Chain A
Amino acid sequence: GEDVEQSLFLSVREGDSSVINCTYTDSSSTYLYWYKQEPGAGLQLLTYIFSNMDMKQDQRLTVLLNKKDKHLSLRIADTQTGDSAIYFCAESNGSGYSTLTFGKGTMLLVSP
């Protein structure tokens, strides 16, 4: 079945860039997502990328996709303490009606 892997923990200093990595196994993945979850809260969609794209940038966020290696990364520029949260990588092989397969999440800790 599909599998999504992420590193579990990342610690950075405020102002530095953060890079969270994700690998997936489903070659039919068409949508790849990054969600943010703060303690006790639901999931907030940060950004997503279609499988026919290599890169997507949205303000401080840059998503890179290497489809050959099935590798996805999220770069957060100028990381702030408010960025501390768990970041989930997810993939689906269809539209918004399709189920998502999530990674276990990466906890990002930003220190002052």
Chain B
Amino acid sequence: GAVVSQHPSWVICKSGTSVKIECRSLDFQATTMFWYRQFPKQSLMLMATSNEGSKATYEQGVEKDKFLINHASLTLSTLTVTSAHPEDSSFYICSYGQGNQPQHFGDGTRLSIL
């Protein structure tokens, strides 16, 4: 079945640091990937849709200059949290789908900003 690899799984860093999260599709070429954020004890909220070779589409309330998305190849999308602050601490998860198949998710990245 489809496999999504997300890296790193856990990051702890100081306030003001920029953090890059990678999401790779391992068994097919993904033109579209999704980035979600999950705060503790809450559901997943879509942050942005990452499109290969073009600009990402951000959901309302998500700062595009804060959360930089790059989808430069069909197998890799990256999310960079720039100048992270404690309020950015969250669980970030990527996913992709193909055709009529359901979306598959990465294992998530737990970001803790001190």
List chain A positions with a Cβ less than 8 A from chain B: 31, 33, 35, 40-45, 48, 88, 95-100, 102-105
Contacts and interface: CB of A to CB of B under 8 A. Distances in A.
Interface stretch (B13-21, B69-77, B80-88, B93-101): B93-101
A38 B97 CA distance: 21
5 contacts: A33-B103, A43-B105, A96-B101, A100-B46, A104-B42
Interface of B: 6, 31-32, 34, 42-46, 49, 93, 95-108, 110
A41, A97, A100 — which one has the most chain B CB atoms within 10 A of its CB? A97
Contacts of B104: 45
A84 to B, nearest CB: 16
Given A42-B6, A42-B108, A100 B103 contact: yes
B110 to A, nearest CB: 7
